[in-house]
Structure 1
Amino acid sequence: MQLTEPINQILNQLEKIHSFNAQNPLEDTRKYLETMSLQLSRKKEPVRMIEELNIPLESHQIPVRIYRPNGKNIQNSSAIIYIHGGWFIAGGFETHDAVVRKLANKTGSVVIFVDYRLAPEHPFPAGLNDCIDSVKWIADNAESLGIDAHQIGIIGDSAGGALATGVSTQIGELLKFQVLIYPAADHQLNTKSWETYETGPVLNKEGGIQAWEWYYPESRDNPDPLAAPILIKDFRNTPPTLVLIAEHDPLRDEGEELALHMKEAGISVHTIFYKDMVHGFMHMGEVLNEVDQAVHEMAEFAHQHLETITK
């Protein structure tokens, strides 16, 4: 495995991150992702407006953050729903703030970030249900949100890619497109890329096994395709899909296989392979120019499939 100088620079910095006063491995993982995102993301772009609200359900509320892009205040905007990564156990508003701001401005769409419930406190299917319920609620309340209910896409990174795939399988008729950024798709962690990158960079197999056990404790005895999308057979509701793959990523092979399954099912799928990149590179804009390239590719894909784009 030959890594570029910028990637080695990033990995050296990651080795120096120590979670302050973490009480257990779960808290350490959550704080590590927050620290990594803060240190390696480029300076946050200003957007026109950020709003926060709670989607009311019978048993609980789902926090969401709405990013309105720079430009004129135009009603009936297109919208993108963002489902974040973090191994199903970490991540939230602040870990992905820099990326989401950039996506809002580049796409010209309102971006709605869903802060779904995390494992192990809330194992599968809690997080997926939150994402499905959020998409339904956003579509039902589009007018009051200032968006067009018929011009909505979804983006998910890593674990969020698994969740977005589950959402689109169930209610893809509400979505014009989906983007999966280095998606987690297979709970078995037995691909060639997992063998090659068992100890990293960025992810490691031991942590992955623990995360899947927290998220989906019944996975070995009763695998559910909505938890592990590599098992999905029916993609009939899935909209046109863009898949971003990183070369030096243990999730590389499962992401490519998921894309292949979609293609074989007749779904329009475009895959972009990011040579030299590692998992999580979208958080590394301070060092990597590929972040801007990926945002541009996603914006181009969104523009192809959304009719009402705020220029």
Structure 2
Amino acid sequence: MQLTPKITQILNHLERIQPFNPQDSLDGARKYLETMSLQLSGKKESVAMIEELEIQRESHQIPVRIYRPNGKDIQNSSAIIYIHGGWFIAGGYETHDAVVRKLANKTGSVVIFVDYRLAPEHPFPAGLNDSLDSIKWVMENAESLGIDPDKIGIIGDSAGAALATAVSTQIGKHLKFQVLIYPAADNQLNSKSWETYENGPVLNKQGGIEAWDWYLPKEEKDNALAIPVLIKDFKETPPTLIILAEHDPLLDDGKQLSENMKNAGVTLTTSLYKDMVHGFMHMGEILEEVQSAIGEMAVFAHRNLNSVEEKV
């Protein structure tokens, strides 16, 4: 494993992160992601407006944060639903704030960040249901939100990419595109890349096993909506961009998902970011590849939203 000096610098920094007073391994994992994002994401871009709302369900509320980009009329805007990563057990508004701000400004779309329920308190399918309910709510309330219901896409990273993949098999005909960033596509953790990167960087196999056990009840162990590599029916899936990182234990699982989609006839683009590690989108303080990936996603979004008049 040949790592660049910048990646080595980042990994050395990550080794020194000590989450403050973790109560247990779950609390430690959550605080670690928060700390990594805070320290490595870099300066946050300003956006025109941020709104926080709660979608009322029968038994709970789904918090969503709406980012409106700079320099755009808020009426009849395109929109991107963002489903965040964190092994299904961590992550939220602040861990992904810097990335989502960049996406909003670069795409010129309203970005709606879904703060779905996390395992183990809320195992599968809670997060998936929240993601589906949020998109349906956006579509139903598009006019009052200033959104064009015919110009909506979805982006997910890691665990969020797994959720996005499942979402798009259910209601993908209403979506113009999806982007999957280093997707957590399989719960077996037995690929060649998992063997190579069992102890990292960033992710480790023991943490992955624990996270999947928390997320997935035993009776759901073979549910394709939880495990994307098991999905057979992609007929609803919109044009898809999959972004992979070279030094990522999830690399081979992402490649397998890509192959399955390609074989199913999905309009697909797969992009491998050489030298990158899992979670590199949170490392914009040091890595210029973050902005490159944001740019690639924006080009893909514009192409599929038919926003030919907008320039990236």
The TM-score, its normalising length taken from structure 2, stands at 0.98
Structure-2 residue corresponding to 1:226: 225
Q: Which amino acid aligns with 1:91?
A: G
Q: Distance in 2 between matches of 1:94 and 1:73?
A: 26
Structure-2 residue corresponding to 1:53: 53
How big is the shift at 1:59? Answer: 1.1
Describe the superposition over 1:70-111 as per-residue Cα deviations: whole angstroms up to 9, x where unpaired: 003330000000000000000000000000000000000000
Structure-1 residue corresponding to 2:165: 165
1:187-266 matches, cutoff 5 A? 187-218=187-218, 222-266=221-265
Is the 8 Å Cα contact of residues 180 and 243 (structure 1) preserved in structure 2? yes
Is the 8 Å Cα contact of residues 53 and 64 (structure 2) preserved in structure 1? yes
Q: Distance in 2 between matches of 1:23 and 1:264?
A: 45
The answer as to 2:140 corresponding to 1:131 is: no
Structure-1 residue corresponding to 2:305: 306
Is the 8 Å Cα contact of residues 17 and 35 (structure 2) preserved in structure 1? yes
Describe the superposition over 1:19-45 as per-residue Cα deviations: whole angstroms up to 9, x where unpaired: 101110000000000000000001000
1:88-107 matches, cutoff 5 A? 88-107=88-107
Question: SS at the partner of 2:62?
Answer: strand
Is the 8 Å Cα contact of residues 302 and 310 (structure 2) preserved in structure 1? no
Structure 1 stretches of 4+ moved >2 Å: 307-311
Question: SS at the partner of 1:19?
Answer: coil
1:149-164 matches, cutoff 5 A? 149-164=149-164
1:52-71 matches, cutoff 5 A? 52-71=52-71
Q: Distance in 1 between matches of 2:280 and 2:233?
A: 30
Describe the superposition over 1:228-252 as per-residue Cα deviations: whole angstroms up to 9, x where unpaired: 0000000000000000000000000
1:23-42 matches, cutoff 5 A? 23-42=23-42
Describe the superposition over 1:202-247 as per-residue Cα deviations: whole angstroms up to 9, x where unpaired: 000000000000000316x741000000000000000000000000
The answer as to 2:277 corresponding to 1:297 is: no
Measured on the aligned residues, the alpha-carbon RMSD in Å equals 1.1
Q: Which amino acid aligns with 1:193?
A: S
Question: SS at the partner of 1:65?
Answer: strand
Q: Distance in 2 between matches of 1:201 and 1:307?
A: 38
Q: Which amino acid aligns with 1:101?
A: R
How big is the shift at 1:310? Answer: 6.4
Question: SS at the partner of 1:54?
Answer: strand
Is the 8 Å Cα contact of residues 77 and 146 (structure 1) preserved in structure 2? yes
Q: Distance in 1 between matches of 2:217 and 2:135?
A: 26
Q: Distance in 1 between matches of 2:310 and 2:86?
A: 30
Q: Distance in 2 between matches of 1:288 and 1:244?
A: 16
Structure-1 residue corresponding to 2:72: 72
Is the 8 Å Cα contact of residues 44 and 98 (structure 2) preserved in structure 1? yes
Q: Count how many residue pairs are aligned between Structure 1 and Structure 2.
A: 310
Does 221-230 or 54-63 show the bigger shift?
Answer: 221-230
Q: Distance in 2 between matches of 1:192 and 1:183?
A: 16
Question: SS at the partner of 2:218?
Answer: coil
Q: Which amino acid aligns with 1:184?
A: A
Is the 8 Å Cα contact of residues 78 and 310 (structure 1) preserved in structure 2? no
Q: Distance in 1 between matches of 2:51 and 2:218?
A: 37
Question: SS at the partner of 2:79?
Answer: strand
Q: Which amino acid aligns with 1:223?
A: D
Q: Distance in 1 between matches of 2:98 and 2:171?
A: 28
Is there any run of 5+ residues in structure 1 with no aligned partner, and where? none
Is there any run of 5+ residues in structure 2 with no aligned partner, and where? none
Q: Distance in 2 between matches of 1:305 and 1:42?
A: 29
Is the 8 Å Cα contact of residues 77 and 310 (structure 1) preserved in structure 2? no
The TM-score, its normalising length taken from structure 1, stands at 0.98
Q: Which amino acid aligns with 1:207?
A: G
Structure-2 residue corresponding to 1:142: 142
Q: Which amino acid aligns with 2:30?
A: R
Is the 8 Å Cα contact of residues 72 and 108 (structure 2) preserved in structure 1? no
Q: Distance in 2 between matches of 1:72 and 1:182?
A: 30
Question: SS at the partner of 2:291?
Answer: helix
Is the 8 Å Cα contact of residues 64 and 113 (structure 1) preserved in structure 2? yes
Is the 8 Å Cα contact of residues 68 and 74 (structure 2) preserved in structure 1? no
Describe the superposition over 1:254-289 as per-residue Cα deviations: whole angstroms up to 9, x where unpaired: 001101100100000100000000000000000000
